[in-house]
Amino acid sequence: MTALRKYQRLESPGLWREHPQARRREVIVGLREATIILSDPKNEMALAQWSLPALERLNPGEVPALFGPGADAPETLEVDDRDMIAALETVRTVLERRRPHPGRLRGAVLGAAALVVVGVVVFWLPGKLVQQTAAVLPAPTRDELGEFALADLGRLSGSACKSVSGRHAAAALATRLFPKTPPRIEVVRGALTAPLLLPGNLVVLPAALVEGSDGPDALSGHILAVEIANDGTDPVLALLDHMGLAATLRLLTSGATSSSAVAGYAETLLATPAPEPGAEPLLAAFRAANLSATPYALSLGAGDPLGQALIAGDPFPEGSGSVLLTDEAWIQFQAICSE
């Protein structure tokens, strides 16, 4: 959708103001196919995502250029990089030329057609709409949805534990288990009784599970299990279903959403039974991670059918092939909620 190929993936510095009373904040402006992404230059975390078709120039002819994500939006973006200004202006011009300007009759016809389409979507294709939206969501939007879901869960569980050394240990364990795509591991104190997988490859663990585990091998089994149990099921699908048709349509067409669209999702998460992983794919995951399955199997309790199958098929019955965490790092992980 980008107007000119030469502008794809263009980036520049900018100053973002979230609302008129907020202070300006330095950001990296990234031009993508259908959006611009505003990211924190220190940690590259996405702060906002604007739809290119909705972009407006608020001070034509002036430099630095001032842009907004829509006529009534409170956010503003100040850019003085001439290449980025030219790119955004070019994209706006091309999109404006492509935009239809129908007369009354044509507008009435298009309006009627739109009503038919909306009627079909509402009554016949809600599932397809959710699937299509999930299929095209960029990684920053998935990360943002995961953050919103975690924040909503915090209403019931308390905020995620923040011990710096504990978080470093959690990140080290995630990298050890999934070297190519390590998840982000968060630990919460209350409400949660089993691990959860949220959009953005975000694993949430109950503090009681972390503190009560005999060692990193057993806890790692719980992390592998929640990943395997959700394998093939995109966690963003359930969240979009909760958000509803209107919010999903807005996300699909404009790339914009807010935390209010996710409100109440925590109750749905806690009321949904945790999916059960299959023994064979879970054993394959233990084998790939060079990890013994027995400590996790024993943590499930005596007589648990899954635990018995894991012990019988343990790829490393004598113990894990390599150390998951040092003793010091494991102690730090268990104390992640101490601060």
Q: 252: burial class by Cβ within 10 Å (0-12, 13-18, 19+)?
A: middle
Q: Do 224 and 119 belong to one domain?
A: no
Domain boundary among 136, 155, 188: 136
pLDDT at res. 106: 54
Q: Within this chain, do residues 146 and 219 fall inside the same structural domain, yes or no?
A: yes
Please give the chain's pLDDT, 339 residues, in tens.
444 555 666 889 999 998 888 899 999 998 877 778 888 888 888 888 888 778 888 898 898 999 988 767 889 999 998 888 888 888 777 766 665 555 544 554 555 555 545 554 555 566 777 888 888 888 888 999 999 999 999 999 999 999 999 999 999 999 999 999 999 999 999 889 999 999 999 999 999 999 999 999 999 999 999 999 988 788 999 999 999 888 888 888 888 888 888 999 999 999 988 888 999 999 999 999 999 999 999 999 888 999 999 999 999 999 988 889 999 999 999 999 987
123 and 200 share one domain: no
Query: In the listed set 89, 112, 136, which residue is the last one of a domain according to the structure?
Result: 136
One domain for residues 130 and 201: no
- Residue-wise DSSP of 124-189: T-HHHHHHHHHHH--HHHHHHHHHHHHHHHHHHH-SPP--HHHHHHHHHHHHHH-SSSPPEEEEES
- 238: in domain: yes
Q: Are residues 74 and 36 in the same domain?
A: yes
- Regarding whether 119 and 55 lie in a shared domain, the answer is no
- Residue 33 domain boundaries: 5-98
Over residues 33-76, the pLDDT tens digits come to 777 888 888 888 888 888 877 888 889 889 899 998 876 788 99
- Name residue, tokens 């099921």: 233
Q: Tell me whether the omega of the peptide bond preceding residue 64 falls within 30 degrees of 0, making it cis.
A: yes
Q: What total number of domains does the chain contain?
A: 3
DSSP letter, residue 319: -
Please check whether residues 16 and 132 belong to one and the same domain.
no
SS (H, E, C) 48-75: EEEEHHHCEECCCCCCCEEEECCCCCCC
Phi, psi of 107 (to 5 degrees): -65, -40
Residues 299 and 195 in one domain: yes
Residue 174 lies in a domain: yes
Contact 299, 222 (CB under 8 A): yes
Note whether 173 and 311 are same-domain residues: yes
> Based on the domain organization, do 63 and 110 belong to the same domain?
no
Please count the other Cβ atoms lying within 10 Å of the Cβ belonging to residue 114: 10
pLDDT at 93: 73
Per the structure block, which two tokens stand in for 25? 């904040």
**Predicted pLDDT of residue 317:** 92
90 with 121, same domain: the answer is no
In this prediction, residue 103 carries a pLDDT of 52
| 219 shares a domain with 180 | yes
| Contact criterion met (CB below 8 Å) for 225 and 241 | no
